[in-house]
Chains A and B, each alone.
Chain A
Amino acid sequence: MPKITINGKEIEFEKGMTVLQACELADVEIPRFCYHEKLSIAGNCRMCLVELEKSPKPIASCAMPAAEGMNIKTNTTLVEKARKGVMEFLLANHPLDCPVCDQGGECDLQDQSLYYGVDKSRFVENKRDVKEKYMGPLIKTQMTRCIHCTRCVRFATEVAGVPEIGAIGRGENMEITTYLEKSMESELSANVIDLCPVGALTSKPYAFEARPWELKKTESVDVMDAVGSNIRVDTYNWEVKRILPRLNNEINEEWISDKTRYSCDGLLKQRLDVPYIKKNNKLQKSTWDEAINLLVDKIHSVQPNEIAGHIGDMINMENALSFKKFFKTLKSKNLEFREKNFYINQDEKMNYIFNSSIAGIEDTDLILLVGTNPRHEASILNARIRKTFVQKKIPIFSIGNPGDLTYEYEIIGDSTEDIKKIVNKEHDFSKKLLLAKKPIIIIGESALELKSGEYIFEEFKRFLIKNNLINENWNGLNILVQNASTVGLLDLKILQDKKEKSSSFFDDLKNRKFKLLYLLGSDNLEFQKNDEFIVYQGSHGDRGAEIADLILPSATYTEQNGLYENLEGRIQECKKASYPIGEALEDWKIFNQIIKKLGSKDYKVNFDELRKEVLETAPNFSGINELPKKSAIKTNNIETSFFNEKISVRELDYYYTNSISRSSKTMSECRQIRQKIKKDGTNNI
C-alpha cells in the first residue's frame, strides 16, 4: 500500500483516497463544511486547507487525491492562517444570530469558529441579506445563514434523485433554492437538514422546540417501514421532540425517510390514555378493572374458535409472543398479522426475507422488481438501489408499473403471463437474467397478494436454484414486506401452517365466523364490521379504535423496549425513550393481567423471559444487529397453480401508512401537498 506522511507520521493508505481521508486515518481532524463522505466532492468551502511540501499554496485536502510520498502538514502556522482567512470570509456575510438560531449547539460553523474564528470583524460593508425560501412543510429556511457548501444540492441530485434544489445567481448573490420555491418532492427531503452545516436549513416542525443539550438521547430503531432504520430518539421530559438518523452503513447509511423523522409529533396526538368501553354506541372512559372484567366475561361467553386476533404493523416481537401465549391459554388458533392475504412460505427463513441484504444491493448487476414500489414501501432501500444504479449503471427492470422511482428502469410486463414466460425461458428477459452473475429479484406484497402469489414466488425460486443463481455465495430472491413487524412475527410462527388449516382467517372474517376480534395495534385490517365484539389494544385513536367496543391503551414503540426484525431478518433492539401516557401499559403487561383474571395459575411471564424465548425461537439467529445465518439451499417441490392475472403495484398513501403517521400533523401537511401536486401538477405556484 502507498504511504503518506502526515505531520511527520508515516501511514499507509488505500489507493484512491483523498488527502483528507488519509488524514483521518492518521487521527488528524480536518475542519470541513462542504465535504461529506456520502456525497460527491465539491471543494468549494476551502476550510480543509492543509500544507503540502513543495506546493507553493495550501491545498484543499478534500479534493486532492493522496499520492505516494506526499508530506502533509496540518499543524503549521501557514495552515492555521489559511483556515482563519477562510473562516473570516465565511463569517463576513454570516449573521451573528446564534442565540436565535435553531442550529445553535450543533452547528459546524459555530464549533469551528471556536478554533479558527477571529474575535473581531474587519468587514465594515453591508452584510448580505437573502430572502427566505419556501422548501415545503419540513424544511425551514433562513438563507442569509447559508455558506454555499452545496451539500443540499448534491444530496438532492445524487442521493434523493430529485434534482430540485440548485444554486441560482452568481458570486456574492448566489442563492440556494428549490426550483421556483416548490416543496421538495422526495421521501428523503428532510435529510438536507442534517446535512446543512449551518442554520440555513432547519427543521420546521421542531423550530424553537428545544436546544440539543436539553434533550435525552436514546438510540433506537424505526418501525415506520420494514427497513429498520437506525434512529436516535431525542426526548424532553415525556415528549419525543425529534428523531434523527444514526449511522449504519449496513442499513440506512446516514439517511432516514421523512416519515421516520417526522411522524414523531403523532406520538403526542390522538393518544389513548385510559381504557374505553362502548356504552349506548358511545365510547366512554373506564378503568382497567372494569375493562378487563368485561373482556373476561366476553371471552367466557364465546367458543375458543370464535375468538380471533390480529396483530398490527408496529408490534414488537416480545409483545407478539405474549399475545400468542395469551391466545394459547384461550385455546384459539385464529391468529393473523397480514393486512391482506399474501402468499408466504414459512418453511424456511430464506423464503420471507430480503436475502441479498440491503448493503448487498451494491454488489448486484441486475435488478428485477416484481409488483413493488420500493420508493414508497422502503424509501431507504430505494436510495440504495439508486446509489447502485448511479455508480454502476446496472439495468433495472420491473413487472408492473410502480411510477417514478428516481432512477431509470424498463417495464418488461404487467401480468403473471410474463413471469411464466420468464421462468420458461421464453421471454427476452430470461437471457439477461441467466447472463447476470448476481441478479436481484424483489417481490413486493402487491404481487404476493395475487392468486398466483404462490406461483410467482415458488417458480422464481425454482428457476434461480436450477440455474445456480441462488448459491452459497449469493441469494438474490428478495421479499419486500411493508410492515416493521412482519418478519419478526413470521419467525415467531404466529401463522399456522397451511396444512393444518382448512379456511383462512380472511375467509372466516368475511363469513362472520368470529364473535370476538382482538386487534393488537392493528389499524390497517380492512373488513366490514358486523356484530363482532371488537377489542382494540393500541396507542392511538385511529381506525381500529373507531370500530372498537373495548379499548385498552398501550404503549408506542418509543415507550417500551422491544425487538424488531427488519426485512433482512436482522433483529434489532428498539429502546425505551419515554413513558407510556396516562394509564397505558406495555402490551405484555396487559396480557398478564387478563390471564390472571381468567384464572390461569401457571401463567406469569416477565419481559426478560419473553426476550429470551424470542431469541431462542427465531430461526437462523446469529446475534442482535446481525444478519441471520444462512442455511443450506433446498430445492422446493411445491406444486403451484398458474392464474393469468395483471400485476399492478398497489398505491401506498405514503404519509398515511400507520396509526402514528395518521395522527401526525406534519405528515398530514406533506400528504396534502403531495395530493395537490398529483391533482394539478404543481404546488403553490
Chain B
Amino acid sequence: MSVKKVHDNQPKEFKFSDENLKKAEEILKRYPEKNKKSAVMPLLYLAQRQNGNWIPLAAMKFIANYLAMPYISVYEVATFYTMYNLAPVGKHFIQVCTTTPCLLRGADKIVKLCKENISQNENEISKKGNCSWMEVECLGACVSAPMVQINDDYYEDLDEKSTKEILISLINDKPLKPGSYRGRKNTSPEKILISNGGKHA
C-alpha cells in the first residue's frame, strides 16, 4: 500500500445537500465551538456518502472552509484513514478482508475471483456492470470468515461458489442478500441455531 493518490478527474464544485447540511450542523453541535475542527472526520464521511462513496478535493476544500481549518489538515486526515476513498469506486464496492483469520479460511480465493470477474487490479471499475473491489484489513467479522463488505453490508461464511454467485449478481446489478452463506443466523453455531446451544447456565 502506498499513499492514496487523488483522482485526476476532479469535479470543480462540491456543496453539501440541504439534507446533509442539516446533518453537518447537527454534527457540529457535538463539539465545543473552539474545537469544531474535531468534526472533520464525520463531515468527510458525510461528503463521501453524498458523492457516490468517494471524496473529491472540492469536498475537502469545502469542509476546510466550513470548519475554518487549513486545506492541508483536511487533506492529511483524508489520506491517513484508509476508509476514505479519494478516487471513484464502483456502485457496488467490494472490500475483501484479507487479514489473518479470513486469509486462513481462504480469502485469497475471493481475491482471485474478484480479479477474474471484476477487474484485474484493485480500485478499478469493472468493464461490465459498475463494480470495484479492494483488499482491506480486518473488518471485525473473523467469526464468520472469510467475508467481504459490499457497500454497507457484510457477506459472510463465503466459499468460491457463493462468492462467484454474489459477484455475478453484482455485475448484473441484482445483488443477493447479505448475511451468512452457510445458513447461520448472526454468529450463532452452525447446526444448533440457538446461541450457547440452548444450555444457559
Chain A residues within CB distance 8 Å of chain B:
157, 163-170, 173-175, 178-180
B182 at the interface (CB under 8 A from A): no
Distance in Å: Cβ of A126 to nearest Cβ of chain B: 12
Chain A residue nearest to B2 in the complex (CB): A173
B201 at the interface (CB under 8 A from A): no
B79 at the interface (CB under 8 A from A): yes
CB pair A169–B70 under 8 Å, yes or no, is: no
CB pair B71–A179 under 8 Å, yes or no, is: yes
Q: Can you pick out 6 interface pairs between chain A and chain B where the beta carbons lie within 8 Å of each other?
A: A166-B75, A166-B76, A168-B3, A169-B79, A173-B1, A175-B3
Distance in Å: Cβ of B75 to nearest Cβ of chain A: 6
Which of B2, B72, B73 has the largest number of chain A CB atoms within 10 A?
Answer: B72
Shortest Cβ-Cβ A-B pairs, 9 listed: A163-B70, A169-B3, A166-B72, A168-B79, A179-B72, A166-B76, A170-B80, A179-B71, A173-B3
Which residues of B41-82 have CB atoms within 8 Å of chain A's CB atoms? 57, 70-73, 75-76, 79-80
Residues of chain B within 8 A (CB-CB) of A157 are 70
Q: How far is the CA of A178 from the CA of B71 in the complex (A)?
A: 10
Count of interface residues, chain B, beta-carbon cutoff 8 Å: 14
B4 at the interface (CB under 8 A from A): yes
Residues of chain A within 8 A (CB-CB) of B6 are 180
CB pair A178–B1 under 8 Å, yes or no, is: no
Chain B residue nearest to A179 in the complex (CB): B72
Distance in Å: Cβ of A103 to nearest Cβ of chain B: 24
Q: How far is the CA of A178 from the CA of B70 in the complex (A)?
A: 11
Residues of chain B within 8 A (CB-CB) of A164 are 70, 72
Distance in Å: Cβ of B9 to nearest Cβ of chain A: 14
Residues of chain A within 8 A (CB-CB) of B70 are 157, 163-164, 166, 179
- Contact of B80 (CB < 8 Å), options: A163, A168, A178: A168
Add 4 more A-B contacts to A168-B80, A169-B2 (CB < 8 A): A163-B73, A164-B72, A179-B71, A180-B75
Distance in Å: Cβ of A539 to nearest Cβ of chain B: 41
Q: How far is the CA of A157 from the CA of B75 in the complex (A)?
A: 15
- Contact of B75 (CB < 8 Å), options: A168, A173, A174: A168
Which residues of B1-42 have CB atoms within 8 Å of chain A's CB atoms? 1-4, 6
Residues of chain A within 8 A (CB-CB) of B76 are 166-168
Residues of chain B within 8 A (CB-CB) of A167 are 76
CB pair B73–A166 under 8 Å, yes or no, is: yes
Distance in Å: Cβ of B73 to nearest Cβ of chain A: 7
Residues of chain B within 8 A (CB-CB) of A166 are 70, 72-73, 75-76
- Contact (A178, B3) CB under 8 Å given A168-B79, A168-B80: no
Residues of chain A within 8 A (CB-CB) of B72 are 163-166, 178-179
Q: How far is the CA of A170 from the CA of B81 in the complex (A)?
A: 8
Distance in Å: Cβ of B7 to nearest Cβ of chain A: 13
Residues of chain B within 8 A (CB-CB) of A170 are 79-80
Residues of chain A within 8 A (CB-CB) of B79 are 168-170
Chain B residue nearest to A129 in the complex (CB): B2
Chain B residue nearest to A171 in the complex (CB): B1
Residues of chain B within 8 A (CB-CB) of A179 are 70-72, 75
Residues of chain B within 8 A (CB-CB) of A168 are 3, 75-76, 79-80
Q: How far is the CA of A175 from the CA of B72 in the complex (A)?
A: 12
Residues of chain A within 8 A (CB-CB) of B75 are 166, 168, 179-180
Q: How far is the CA of A505 from the CA of B70 in the complex (A)?
A: 49
Q: How far is the CA of A165 from the CA of B75 in the complex (A)?
A: 11
Q: How far is the CA of A179 from the CA of B74 in the complex (A)?
A: 10
Q: How far is the CA of A168 from the CA of B1 in the complex (A)?
A: 13
Residues of chain B within 8 A (CB-CB) of A174 are 3
Q: How far is the CA of A207 from the CA of B3 in the complex (A)?
A: 28
Chain A residue nearest to B79 in the complex (CB): A168
Q: How far is the CA of A402 from the CA of B57 in the complex (A)?
A: 30
Chain B residue nearest to A163 in the complex (CB): B70
Distance in Å: Cβ of B82 to nearest Cβ of chain A: 8
Distance in Å: Cβ of A556 to nearest Cβ of chain B: 39
Q: How far is the CA of A168 from the CA of B6 in the complex (A)?
A: 12
Which of B4, B6, B73, B79 has the largest number of chain A CB atoms within 10 A?
Answer: B79
Residues of chain B within 8 A (CB-CB) of A165 are 72
Distance in Å: Cβ of B12 to nearest Cβ of chain A: 13
Q: How far is the CA of A170 from the CA of B80 in the complex (A)?
A: 5
Distance in Å: Cβ of B56 to nearest Cβ of chain A: 13
Q: How far is the CA of A173 from the CA of B5 in the complex (A)?
A: 12
Which of A166, A167, A180 has the largest number of chain B CB atoms within 10 A?
Answer: A166
Distance in Å: Cβ of B144 to nearest Cβ of chain A: 28
Q: How far is the CA of A169 from the CA of B5 in the complex (A)?
A: 10
Residues of chain A within 8 A (CB-CB) of B4 are 169
Q: How far is the CA of A168 from the CA of B3 in the complex (A)?
A: 7
Distance in Å: Cβ of B60 to nearest Cβ of chain A: 10
Distance in Å: Cβ of B84 to nearest Cβ of chain A: 12
Distance in Å: Cβ of B64 to nearest Cβ of chain A: 10
Q: How far is the CA of A173 from the CA of B4 in the complex (A)?
A: 9
Q: How far is the CA of A174 from the CA of B57 in the complex (A)?
A: 19
Residues of chain B within 8 A (CB-CB) of A169 are 2-4, 79-80
Which of A168, A174, A175 has the largest number of chain B CB atoms within 10 A?
Answer: A168
Distance in Å: Cβ of A685 to nearest Cβ of chain B: 10
Residues of chain B within 8 A (CB-CB) of A175 are 3
Residues of chain B within 8 A (CB-CB) of A180 are 6, 57, 75
Q: How far is the CA of A170 from the CA of B3 in the complex (A)?
A: 8
Residues of chain B within 8 A (CB-CB) of A163 are 70, 72-73
Residues of chain B within 8 A (CB-CB) of A178 are 72
Chain B residue nearest to A170 in the complex (CB): B80
Residues of chain A within 8 A (CB-CB) of B71 are 179
Q: How far is the CA of A170 from the CA of B77 in the complex (A)?
A: 10
Q: How far is the CA of A175 from the CA of B3 in the complex (A)?
A: 8
Residues of chain A within 8 A (CB-CB) of B57 are 180
Distance in Å: Cβ of B47 to nearest Cβ of chain A: 18
Chain A residue nearest to B4 in the complex (CB): A169
Distance in Å: Cβ of B20 to nearest Cβ of chain A: 24
Q: How far is the CA of A169 from the CA of B77 in the complex (A)?
A: 8
Q: How far is the CA of A169 from the CA of B6 in the complex (A)?
A: 12
Q: How far is the CA of A179 from the CA of B57 in the complex (A)?
A: 11
Q: How far is the CA of A169 from the CA of B2 in the complex (A)?
A: 8
Residues of chain A within 8 A (CB-CB) of B73 are 163, 166
Residues of chain A within 8 A (CB-CB) of B80 are 168-170
Chain B residue nearest to A130 in the complex (CB): B3
Distance in Å: Cβ of B39 to nearest Cβ of chain A: 18
Chain B residue nearest to A128 in the complex (CB): B2
Chain A residue nearest to B81 in the complex (CB): A170
Q: How far is the CA of A178 from the CA of B72 in the complex (A)?
A: 7
Distance in Å: Cβ of B41 to nearest Cβ of chain A: 14
Q: How far is the CA of A163 from the CA of B2 in the complex (A)?
A: 24
Which of A163, A170, A175 has the largest number of chain B CB atoms within 10 A?
Answer: A170
Which residues of B69-103 have CB atoms within 8 Å of chain A's CB atoms? 70-73, 75-76, 79-80
Q: How far is the CA of A168 from the CA of B60 in the complex (A)?
A: 14
Distance in Å: Cβ of B138 to nearest Cβ of chain A: 16
